[in-house]
Amino acid sequence: MQISNSLQVVEGAAPETDADLIQRLDAVLEIRGLSQNKAAQQIGINAAAISGLRNGSYSGNRQAVRVKIEQWLATHERRAATTSLLPTAPSWFEGPAALQIKTALSLAHVTADIAVIFGGPGVGKTATCEHYRDTNRNVWIATIPRHCVTIISMLQQIADAVGCKEMPHAGARKLFREISARIANTAGLLILDEAQHLPIDCLDECRCLYDETKVGVAWVGDNKLDDKTRPSLAVPPQLSRRIGVRRGIKKAGKSDLKALVEAWGLADEESIRLLAEIAARPGALGVATKCIRLAAIDASGIDNITAEHIRGAWSNLGGGQ
């Protein structure tokens, strides 16, 4: 069906002009810190179309463009309404598990060594790595997806993380040289998160990068990473002997949960006891955090949370099933 160029008018209301629409758009761009080009990309139109509406020179299908802008603005309003209901989560909190992870990262960073940090899900590995990156200079995190099983794909992830220019068709040698040039002599720390996905030859290539650049390296992942990096027939000795720090966090403890609930400002004792049971399961602090967030929405605030709200949130997440 062809969209008419004529503007739809709600009966009894004056039609919104292009200037009015652009004014609403500009207000949202300012709130979200978006450029016109970035907004146009999200809306699905050319930035020139917005400029044309702005100065009255647009000669294309104005109504089609207006509809797309209206839809994007409506999506923003719905997102803002939902966000207003969400409690502000602590960006990071320091419990014993987080302190162990941070200390291992710091040792690898300061001594330019290789650290292996491993543990179950939900103990704060990724959050602590991100906090360390955000509070120190020359720290980069390359997240390794499951499909990253070749040296080239690993080097591409690292190149993106350290800010090398895009080289989608570069071979391993060029990627290695570009990364080396970018991070050598920076006294930095390169973190590979989800490193359990890397096969031994990729870890050994990363070891070569470490030898070349003399920056600290941290391999962070689940318990499989520990087995992959311990001396064995399958692990080259030149790899295992480079490891200077090894830190394993089996699970989150009571003190970790205490730090979490204090960071959230949760005080209800029965709720905290229930969260301790939840945090003892797979997912640990990550699942407990989701429960607190959902419970706070249901209770209209952290201060109103009861154990019933936590039980409801846990059930909503599939707990006990």
> Can you spell out the DSSP letters for 187-201?
--EEEEETGGGS-HH
- Which runs of consecutive H residues, i.e. helices, occur in the chain? 18-32, 36-43, 47-55, 62-85, 96-111, 125-134, 151-162, 172-183, 200-213, 224-229, 237-240, 254-264, 269-279, 284-299, 307-316
**Secondary structure class of 297 (helix, strand, coil):** helix
CB atoms within 10 A of CB 319: 16
Task: For residues 236 and 129, give the distance between their C-alpha atoms in angstroms, rounded to a whole number.
Answer: 27
Task: For residues 156 and 162, give the distance between their C-alpha atoms in angstroms, rounded to a whole number.
Answer: 10
Query: What pLDDT, in 10s, does the model give residues 62-78?
Result: 999 999 999 999 999 99
Average confidence (pLDDT) over 239-255 = 90
Task: For residues 66 and 22, give the distance between their C-alpha atoms in angstroms, rounded to a whole number.
Answer: 10
114-119 and 189-193 strand pairing = unpaired
**How does residue 228 score in pLDDT terms, banded at 50, 70 and 90?**
confident
CA nearest 24: which of 85, 86, 71? 71
User: If one looks up domain 96-249 in CATH, what number appears?
Assistant: 3.40.50.300
Per-residue pLDDT at 11 exceeds 60? no
Per-residue pLDDT at 234 exceeds 80? no
Task: For residues 289 and 253, give the distance between their C-alpha atoms in angstroms, rounded to a whole number.
Answer: 15
**Residue 77 — φ and ψ, nearest 5°?**
-65, -40
Contacts of 92 (CB under 8 A, 6+ apart): 98, 127, 128, 130, 131
Question: Out of 20-24, 147-151, 191-195, 237-241, which region has the weakest mean confidence (pLDDT)?
Answer: 237-241
End-to-end CA distance of the chain: 47
Task: For residues 96 and 102, give the distance between their C-alpha atoms in angstroms, rounded to a whole number.
Answer: 10
Look at 115 and 279; give whichever has higher pLDDT.
115
Task: For residues 307 and 13, give the distance between their C-alpha atoms in angstroms, rounded to a whole number.
Answer: 49
**How does residue 236 score in pLDDT terms, banded at 50, 70 and 90?**
confident
243-249 and 114-119 strand pairing = parallel
Q: Does domain 18-85 have CATH number 2.60.120?
A: no
Helices 36-43 & 62-85, crossing angle to 10 degrees? 100
CB atoms within 10 A of CB 35: 10
